[in-house]
Structure 1
Amino acid sequence: MKLQFAVPGFVCCVLAAVFCSPASAQFGNFFGGPKIETISTEDLSALLAQRRKVVDAATQKRTPTPAADFVVVDVRSEAEVNVSVIPGAITKQQYEKNREKYRDRLVIPYCTVGGRSGAYAKKLVADGVKVKNYKGSILKWIDAGLPLETLDGKPTNRVHTYSDRYQVPKAYQQVTR
């Protein structure tokens, strides 16, 4: 005996939109709003490395190459950013307080996995800001074994994961509270 199921057309469309399309910035196309570009771990790491070279050249009084025209913004809660950030990142509060300073720069927001940063990216795009969401965010960063630092620039292996449902590599210490 062969069973057949009738599935309404709109259900098929919804399922196709959710499971078959690349959902930019956490289902951005499905729930409306602008399509948000993303940046990979490799590309973000390369941008930050280039910026470090510029800073190092400036401190050694060599002629630096032009600074990268971007800012990395951690949109996580105060409790999360007080544990660690991606090196060189500023907090959402710092960005919002000094928005004019960062005008015309590419803004790269991140959070734990990319949902909150994706929502923030949509808000920024609506305001006319150039944005690339770091989808995968800090969990992708540490999966690649990349460094973290405290807000005052000290190296750390601690990472706030927002929830204990996430696992971190053994080289890092997970914090959830």
Structure 2
Amino acid sequence: MAVMSTEAGQQGGVCEMTDEEKRERLLRTYRALCEENFKGVPEISSEELLQILTHPCADVRASVVLVDCRSEAEQSVSIFPGAVTMIEAEQNLEKYKQVELIPYCAIGRRSGFFTKKILERNLGIKIRNHVGGILDWSHVKGPLVDPNTQQEIQRVHAGGAYHLKHLPSFGNLEILLPQES
């Protein structure tokens, strides 16, 4: 995997866009994907999700289950705290009827398709797609954890070189990409 840091990325040259502009572009990209592929699915913003996950009441924090719809390679780098895989969620949907599922991926496309599929099955599952995925999560400085230890880390798999343009420039976020062959 290729590794870079947002801090190192800033030092090499002029930043063509502010982080706010990058986030706006990211959310426009998500909206276009949504409009084309899964219009009308319920959504949750990074800010709203962060409020739930950092709420002082444990019952509020336990009211959602995060579902990682990314590849194993992406998940091996970092996940949202307490996230389950898409496969685990699908195999245990009955278990999740008392909570709300929040699927996420890199930008929201794969999780949008997952959300749409679960809603079409009409199982009475509460579910909302995470707008902007892990890329937007990085903009609000949402916590990421090591999938094995659940220890907070500052590392993210960008999903692909195309997504680098959406990541924020601030902080010491370590960004991993698959090696090109």
Percent of aligned positions that are identical: 32
Among 112, 126, 129, which residue is 1:130 paired with?
Answer: 126
Distance 1:25 1:89, change over 3 A: farther
Look at both structures and tell me which one has the larger radius of gyration over its CA atoms.
1
Distance 1:84 1:23, change over 3 A: closer
Where does structure 2 lack aligned partners over 5 or more consecutive residues? Answer: 1-27
For the residue of structure 2 that corresponds to 1:117, the secondary structure is helix
Distance 1:24 1:132, change over 3 A: farther
Given that 2:30 and 2:107 are in contact with CA atoms closer than 8 Å, whether structure 1 keeps it comes out as no
Normalising by structure 1, we get a TM-score of: 0.71
For the residue of structure 1 that corresponds to 2:126, the secondary structure is coil
Question: 1:136 & 1:147 partners in 2: Cα distance?
Answer: 15
Q: Aligned residue for 2:52?
A: 47
1:3-42 correspondence runs (5 A): 27-31=33-37, 35-42=40-47
Among 130, 137, 140, which residue is 1:141 paired with?
Answer: 137
Q: Aligned residue for 2:108?
A: 114
Please report the RMSD computed on the Cα atoms of aligned residues, expressed in angstroms.
2.5
Q: How many residues align?
A: 144
Normalising by structure 2, we get a TM-score of: 0.69
Deviation for aligned residue 1:98: 2.3
**1:70 is the counterpart of 2:67:** no
1:54-93 correspondence runs (5 A): 54=58, 65=59, 68-93=62-87
Where does structure 1 lack aligned partners over 5 or more consecutive residues? Answer: 1-21, 55-64
Q: Aligned residue for 1:8?
A: none
Q: Which has the higher helix share?
A: 2
Q: Aligned residue for 1:174?
A: 175
Given that 1:25 and 1:115 are in contact with CA atoms closer than 8 Å, whether structure 2 keeps it comes out as no
